[in-house]
Copies of this chain bind each other. A is one copy, B any other.
Amino acid sequence: MKIEEEIKQPTFKDNYQKALINLVFTAGWLQQQQSSLFKSHSLTLPQFNILRILRGQHPKPATVNLLIDRMLDKTSNASRIVDKLEVKQLVTRTVCPSNRRAVDICITEAGLTLLNQLDPVLEHQRNGLQNLTDEEAAHLSDLLDKIRN
């Protein structure tokens, strides 16, 4: 469905306004698609993303700062998302021995197992962009880089 129909706005001021609205709408649409994949495992999208970063570090620990650096949403509160993951015993939190201000966060075996279960689901969906060709996906990424200069 074209964006005009999705939000029932027949015309836009110009192509810039149309692309902006389409961009925000489509990103939300994709995030909702992804969220639904995790719901049955009681994981939210931000929780999943944090876990994935931790797996990338594994077996090295990560700090909260490192998580923020790598998160898509820089302003969100990594500390509290880690709280939730800790309660579910998917991560551990220990004070860093070499710098007691920092906290070492590690993914647990349970966390790794959960992610491994989720991988094939995501893979099968080709990350939700299955309607694009490889070239189109690359071109899209270039346009987005250009937006942010």
Question: Per a CB cutoff under 8 Å, which of B2, B70, B131, B137 touches A8?
Answer: B70
- Most-contacted residue by chain B among A31, A148, A149 (CB, 10 A): A148
Stretch at the interface among A22-30, A83-91, A92-100, A108-116: A22-30
Interface size in chain A (residues, C-beta < 8 A)? 54
CA distance A141 to B8 in the complex (A): 16
Contacts of A141 in B (CB 8 A): 3, 15, 18-19, 22
Residues A108-136 near B (CB distance < 8 A): 126-132, 134, 136
| A132-B147 contact in complex given A23-B30, A127-B20, C-beta closer than 8 Å | yes
**Contact of A19 with B147 in the complex, beta carbons under 8 Å:** no
